[in-house]
Structure 1
Amino acid sequence: MRILTALVLGLIFGLGLSLSGMLDPARVRGFLDITGAWDPSLMFVLGGAVTVSALGYQLVRRLARPTFAPEFEIPTNRRIDGKLIGGSALFGIGWGLSGFCPGPAVAALSTGVLPVAVFVAAMLIGMTAHRLVGRRSPAVPALGSRF
């Protein structure tokens, strides 16, 4: 039942990404280009996502436990460190250059367009490399701490 639920929710998510225009990298880059030909239409997608997320968190607060897990897995780490900032910057640069972030990129595989497949392959290689290198690299100090 858990896998079926994940499949149905993933399909709804993918459908929402498709209907919203998030699978079109040119449209996403147009939204990110605030100094040029800015396309503000994806602001509605952002507003909808924030609204659904806020409602979801309100629901989580009222429930004793999730349906398919022993407990909720809500992040507790509030630390802003070099890894978070570096990862966020790398994510933003990749999103701006390609017009894709991971969720829409995977959903866009359904279009059968070769550049999407190349992007997803590169993303998976990068994730694997991070996992391999991340195990060996020392922790990055938190902001405000001495280097």
Structure 2
Amino acid sequence: DAVFDKENLGNQISLQTGTQIGTLVSLEVTKRGAGDIALQIQASGTLGSVTVETENRIRRALGGNYYQITKQDGTVTDGRELLPSAFFTVEDQGSRIVLHGGGFGHGIGMSQNGANAMAAQGLCCEEILKFFYTGVEVR
């Protein structure tokens, strides 16, 4: 999980997008891609709103060194220039935003988290491969 103060996150998004949004009021994933990664987010603040598109731009807009990440093993580390992955959900906790997610992916190819979730839903390996790699023939 990555935990953000709304004021700091609003400043980071403003800096990375060039659109002044002020203190963040809400953050929403508005489009998802293969493996359920975020492909578009809508950030609304006290001064305005901005839409951020593409996995890399989203990771950069939400990156920075002012937040902390709690890893799955419970250890805590400081944030970095890019959010580790665009595979996340958003939880609004009043004065802060928590992104629940996993992995350190680039959003290209097969998402391990996405494939795992699809398998848990009962899809077979061939269905999963064809979802991530359209047009392939499994022999």
- TM-score tier, shorter chain, comes to under 0.3
Higher alpha-carbon Rg: 1
Higher relative contact order (CA 8 A, sep 6+): 1
Q: TM-score, normalised by structure 1?
A: 0.24
Q: TM-score, normalised by structure 2?
A: 0.25
Bigger fraction of residues in strand: 2
